Amino acid sequence: MIKAVWLGLILVAASLVAYGQEATTDFASLLRQFDYDRNAPIDVREVGREQRGDVTIIDLTYASPRGGRVPAYLVVPSGHGPFAAILFGHWMMPGSPFKNRREFLDEAIVLAKSGAISLLIDTPQVRPGFVAEKDEMRKAVQDSEVARQQAIDFRRGLDLLTARPDVDHKRIAYVGHSFDAHVGGILSGVEKRIGSFVLMTGSFADEEYVFDPENAEMLKVRERIGEEKLRAFFKNYAWDDPSHFISHNAPAAVFLQFGRQDKPITEKMARHYYEMFAEPKKIAFYDAGHPLNAEARVERDLWLAERLSLPRPVDKAALARIPELK
């Protein structure tokens, strides 16, 4: 998946001026790329609700600061709180029935029974009306803008959660898989209301990936496009490279999860990402591919339960029964 993304992204390098990007790698300037109007109405609209035992699932939408509506599930425990809160961001594996907010729904229900309220949002790519650019260069720009929108939409979702009287502002976590691990890497440096991050099978140093001397495929790309144009691209789109943000995660804790069979994220690469984050941090590898597995699910939720001081034990058997991702 990373290869496909970068083969598209790098082609935009030759057209940076045409798209009017402003080059900057100053951290304060990078942070401003994710600003939004905190005073604008969130405009929550309930679409429907479902009861699963004593857990309520609310289907809703809210206004995106970047335009349009954000489809989301709000999974609410029984009782009055205050509840710990978790933001969930899904993968986007083509062909998977769980390439949307449904990926973590069963997991959020189990955690609700332990006392956590969760917000699960769809990425812009799977929302109604999204049309992917067909031109490769324009799609590269669109992909970066989508990542920025998703990060801002999560920040707005956090506003939605913290506006509720039953949410404990000091116990907030984020879980992101694949694309949303990339977004979570950015948020770890941007959004200081989140105290715990679980980032699953993510890539966190895009420029390094393209210029990796051991990557034969990227060598061919560098020879074809030219290193100068590629460096210009990464300077102009620095705000979409998590490497500029992940060293700023503290005081939030980060738990990185990787699959030993997940290519092209090698264990060497994963351990390098781990070193780039600040303490406190944790890393784990599983006998799995990009979807990870039940062992990873149980381990991250036990870690979250401890980090968030959930009042009731996590049902490990229920987590293990959740179907594996495909």
pLDDT at 237 (0 to 100): 85
Percent of the chain with pLDDT over 90: 76
Q: What is the pLDDT of residue 19?
A: 38
How many whole angstroms separate alpha carbon 282 and alpha carbon 199? 10
* 227 inside domain: no
Residue 224 neighbours by CB distance under 10 Å: 9
- The residue whose two tokens read 């976590």 is 173
How high is the pLDDT of residue 7? 40
Neighbours of 267 (CB within 10 A): 13
pLDDT in tens, 241-294: 999 999 999 999 999 999 999 988 999 999 999 999 999 999 999 999 999 999
The reply to whether 47 falls in a domain is yes
C-alpha 209/C-alpha 215 separation (Å) is 8
Q: Is residue 180 part of a domain?
A: yes
Please count the other Cβ atoms lying within 10 Å of the Cβ belonging to residue 228.
9
Q: Report if residue 34 sits inside a domain.
A: no
Residue 120 has phi, psi (to 5 degrees) of: -115, 120
Q: Is 131 helix (H, G, I), strand (E, B) or coil?
A: coil
CATH number of the domain within which 89 lies: 3.40.50.1820
Q: Does 100 map to a domain?
A: yes
Q: What is the pLDDT of residues 68-97, one digit of tens each?
A: 999 999 999 999 999 999 999 999 998 999
Reported as a single tens digit per residue, the pLDDT across 45-64 is: 999 999 999 999 999 999 99
pLDDT at 1 over 70: no
> How many folded domains does the chain comprise?
1
Q: Are 86 and 118 within 8 A, CB to CB?
A: yes
Instruction: Tell me how far apart the alpha carbons of residues 138 and 192 are, in angstroms, rounded to a whole number.
Output: 32
* Structural domain range at position 93: 40-206+249-321
Task: Output the average pLDDT for the chain.
Answer: 90
Supply the pLDDT for residue 15: 37
Residue 54 maps to a domain: yes
Q: Decide if 191 is inside a domain.
A: yes
Domain-located, residue 282: yes
- Residue 280 is classified by DSSP as S
* Residue 17: pLDDT over 50: no
Q: What is the pLDDT of residue 5?
A: 45
